[in-house]
Amino acid sequence: MSIAPAFRTAATQATFVDITVDGRSLRVVADSTLAAALLAAGIDRFGPGLAPGQTMQPFCLMGTCFQCIATIDGIAHQRTCRVVVRAGMDVRLAGALPG
């Protein structure tokens, strides 16, 4: 789900790259981590968790919690907080479901 982003970018000399998230094209700040890019785009939940009603989304942002995982270019369980965006990156958000 996408609403008004909870964050604004304060990047001083931003350049942009295009990525694809669940089939939708998205322009994001280059040199940003994927987790940060998605948050900046207003994507604030990355999929369902295992408990009823639970959602998964970035929490620790330092590679510890695995709450921000996504399938990137076909490889499942990637921590989006550890991955820097690349032009053409294909991202699938599935949460705790098999990616």
Partner 1 sequence: MSAEPRVVIVGAGPAGANAALALAAAGVRSIVIDDNPRAGGQIFRVGPNDAIGPVKPDPRGVRLRARLAERADMIEHRAGHEVIGATPERRLTVAPPDGPVVSLDADALVIATGAVEVSVPVPGWTLPGVFGLGGLQILLKQSALVPDRPVVLGGTGPLLYLVAAQMVKTGARLAAVVDAADWPSPRHLLGLAAMPKLLRQGIGHLLALKRAGVPIHRRAAIAAIDGADGVAAVRIARLRPDWSAESAPDATIACGIVGVGFGVRPNVELTGLIGCAHLYDPATGGWVVRRDEDLATSIPGVYAIGDGAAIGGVENALAEGTIVAASILRRLGRPTPAGLVDRATGARRRKTRRTRFRAAINGWSGLRDGIFTLAAFDTIVCRCEGVTRAAIESAAASGFDELRAAKLHSRAGMGLCQGRVCGDAAARIVAHAAGVAVEAAGMPRARLPLRPVAFSNVAAPKS
Residues that bind partner 1 (CB under 8 A): 1, 3-14, 29, 31-33, 36-37, 39-40, 44-45, 49-51, 54-67, 69, 75, 77, 81-82, 84, 96
Minimum CB separation of residue 76 from partner 1 in Å reads: 8
The Cα–Cα gap between 62 and 74 comes to 22
For partner 1, give the closer residue by CB, 3 or 23.
Answer: 3
The Cα–Cα gap between 19 and 61 comes to 20
Minimum CB separation of residue 57 from partner 1 in Å reads: 5
